[in-house]
Amino acid sequence: MDRDGTLNVDRNYLSDPAQLELIPGVPVALRRLADAGFLLFIVTNQSGIGRGYYTLEDMQRVHERLCAELAAAGVRFERIYFAPEAPEAPSRGRKPSPQFLLDARDQFGVELGQSYMVGDKLIDVQCGQNAGVKRSVLVRTGYGASVERTERDKLCDVFVVDDLTAAADRILQEPGS
């Protein structure tokens, strides 16, 4: 999963845990996926760190609050992968690089061909495609509706859905899920 615009309202360089707001339905959708046997991961670009807008510690506090809120709903992430570099800086895992998904494969035994990448930006979709996931899913929350309008030709073989609740519905309807 992407983070900003997918799980929580995109606050444009979210650095204050008090500003974290989950998108409606996210806890239940994640719980349904976990209950179906999916391991949950966050893969997020956090260029605000590399740009000097906030610190690594700020991001960690946001993640602590996110995880605490979701834990109350019985949801746990196996790991949060993040790329703190600015877009122009070299980065091992900055999306659309598939590196963090490959790391999850190697570290947790994730079968990428049976996995999904969910996000609200074209780079999220491309990250999943570059890793060879079963399907990338674009949610219309965050930037997703705009991406759907402007990048339609790049969304072949991508599920486009309203939000994470609809993404979970679609994923759980897939054969073999």
Active site residues: 2, 4
Integer angstrom CA distances of residue 59 from 40, 115, 117 = 19, 26, 22
Q: Return the closest-CA partner of residue 10 out of 40, 41, 33, 44.
A: 44
Asked if residues 135 and 113 have their Cβ atoms less than 8 Å apart, the reply is no
Helix (H) or strand (E) holding 130: helix 122-131
Integer angstrom CA distances of residue 117 from 19, 40, 55, 61 = 25, 10, 27, 24
Q: Compute the distance between CA of residue 48 and CA of residue 113 in angstroms, rounded to an integer.
A: 32
